[in-house]
Amino acid sequence: MATKIPAAQKRMFQDVFVCKNCRKKIRSQAVRIIAGKVKCPRCNNYNFRPIKKK
């Protein structure tokens, strides 16, 4: 099995959230997501979840 490169893991998963409505990925700071200041560009929804690491 391949080793996981920390730089690649950080680039792929840090500050990436997924819209709960349309599943669009967006990169933003967690404090802005929690405060409700970020909306989905596709569906204008404010509900996001962190991306799942596979």
| Angstrom distance (rounded) from CA 43 to CA 17 | 14
Report pLDDT for 45: 95
Instruction: Judge whether 37 lies within some domain.
Output: yes
pTM: 0.83
Q: How confident is the model at residue 1 (pLDDT cuts 50, 70, 90)?
A: low
Instruction: Judge whether 4 lies within some domain.
Output: no
Q: How many domains does the structure of the chain reveal?
A: 1
Report pLDDT for 53: 82
Judge whether 48 and 18 are in contact, CB under 8 Å: yes
Report pLDDT for 35: 96
Judge whether 49 and 20 are in contact, CB under 8 Å: yes
| Angstrom distance (rounded) from CA 39 to CA 48 | 9
At 5-50, the pLDDT tens digits run 999 999 899 999 999 999 999 999 999 999 999 999 999 999 999 9
> Domain range for residue 32?
9-50
Six-digit token pair at 20? 């709960």
Q: What is the CA radius of gyration of the chain?
A: 13
Judge whether 8 and 14 are in contact, CB under 8 Å: no
